[in-house]
Amino acid sequence: MVGQVSVLAPCGFSSHIRIQTMPIYEYRCGQCEKHFDITQSVHARVEDTVCPHCHAQNATRLLSASTAQVKGTRKPGFAEMKAYSMLDERMDKFAKLPPIMGKRAAPNTVPPSDPSTGGATEH
C-alpha cells in the first residue's frame, strides 16, 4: 500500500512524499518457539523470515486477529433519530395494549359510594 503526503518545505514550496505502509505479520520460531512480529511486504516469503531472537530461518506465520480502531465521537443522523423516535412511539402504543394471553380486568360492577350521603347510594 502506498500513501502520499504533502509536506510544506522550509522554502515555502510544497513537496510530495510517498510513504509505503506494509502489513505486520506474526510468526513463531520453530527453533526457539518464541513469537515475534515483523513488518514485511505482502510478497515476502515465509521461508526467508529470520527469527530476531535466535537468528534461525525456521519461522511459521501465524493467523492473527485483525483490529480496528474508531476515533472521535459519532452523532446519530436525522434518519437514525427519526427511526428511534418512531420506535419509541410504537413501544408506547404496545405498552398500552392488554396482555396477549392474559385476561382483561373485569369491569367494576359496584358503583362508587357517594361521600355526601354517608356511603348510601340512591336507586
DSSP 110: S
SS3 87: helix
Of the candidates 29, 25, 24, 5, which has an alpha carbon nearest to the alpha carbon of residue 15?
5
Render each residue's pLDDT in the chain as its tens digit; 123 residues. Answer: 444 444 455 555 555 555 567 788 899 999 999 999 998 888 889 999 999 999 999 999 998 777 666 677 777 788 888 888 888 888 888 888 877 776 666 556 666 666 666 555 555
- Does residue 19 contact residue 12 with C-beta atoms inside 8 Å? no
Q: What count of residues does the chain have?
A: 123
Domains and their CATH numbers in the chain: 23-63 (2.20.28)
pTM exceeding the 0.85 threshold for the entire prediction = no
